[in-house]
A and B are shown apart, each in its own frame.
Chain A
Amino acid sequence: MEKIHVNDSELVSRYIQFSDEHAFETLVRRYKSKVYTTIYLIVKDTYVAEDLLQDTFIKAIDVLRSGRYNDEGKFLPWVLRIAHNMAIDYFRREKRYPNVVFEDGSSVFNTLDFAEDSIEDIQIRDETHSHLRSLIKLLPDSQREVLVMRHYEDMSFQEIADATGVSINTALGRMRYALINLRKMMSKNSPSYDTNLYSE
């Protein structure tokens, strides 16, 4: 049976006013994959991404509990901004990309975290999607940044331009190259596509 969809604003309101844990759990489960994927594509390490996901929602909880939340009901963009800042702060602390990761970006420390899925589930999921994620990681930094901000963080091209200090046309151009490059990489077995990557 289809569950009744309660909007984010209502859930946030229930959580703040009545400490409705079920409302907050609904928000977490609704957006956990989107927030997690956004962080993962920035830090490229599932172990770090798991930590930062927890830090992101814990910060969100603290702000919501303190009564300082004021985002006109736009919960997801607000949480994604926290996640983005967490990921950037991580880089500032580490001053480098993590070194010890598997080819698909996973860490030796967290492979057991996915043990609750069946082997078949893991295989299907990974074979279908890990390839594309690995391709995203091959993009030039400026293209990957815009792709993550637009596709996973739901920022508009104007917001991306403002955040990255470039014109909207440059932001659009980077996104265009990112998508074209991904398309080329996805189709590398097709003779109709050349496999050279465009850069700005």
Chain B
Amino acid sequence: MIQTFTQNDIIRYVYNETTEDENILIQDALISDAEMLEFYLDMLDVQAGLDKSYRHPSPTSIDTILSYSRKSSESHHTTV
């Protein structure tokens, strides 16, 4: 008998929070449940979009951080 899964289970599966045993059962269920498969593919599509949606900070911010680190290293060594 194929176990029934909810959309919440698919969300856990998409985010790798299901167990190995659950993975096998979910993969079986996806083969036989076209609606669930469509939902799964939609969620993967959104997830892929989110992965590509990263913004990048300005080089100025990174320079400020690295500069602070170098200065803190100098002061750390003079006080130790």
Contacts and interface: CB of A to CB of B under 8 A. Distances in A.
Interface of A: 19, 21, 24-25, 28-29, 32-34, 36-37, 40, 46, 49-50, 53-54, 57-58, 61-62, 65, 110, 113-114, 116, 128-129, 132-133, 136, 147, 150-152, 156-157, 169, 172-173, 175-176, 179-180, 182-183, 186
Contact of B46 (A133, A172, A186): A186
Nearest to A29: B62
B66 interface: yes
Contacts of B8: 169, 172-173, 176
A19 B57 contact: no
B16 to A, nearest CB: 10
Contact of B45 (A152, A169, A173, A183): A183
Contacts of B59: 113, 116
Chain B contact residues, majority secondary structure: helix
Most B-side CB within 10 Å, residue of A29, A147, A176: A176
Contact of B52 (A34, A129, A169): A129
A50 B63 CA distance: 12
B14 to A, nearest CB: 8
Contacts of B76: 19, 65
B78 interface: no
B52 A128 contact: yes
Nearest to B50: A151
B65 interface: yes
B5 interface: no
Contact of A176 (B11, B47, B56, B62): B11
Contacts of A49: 55, 57
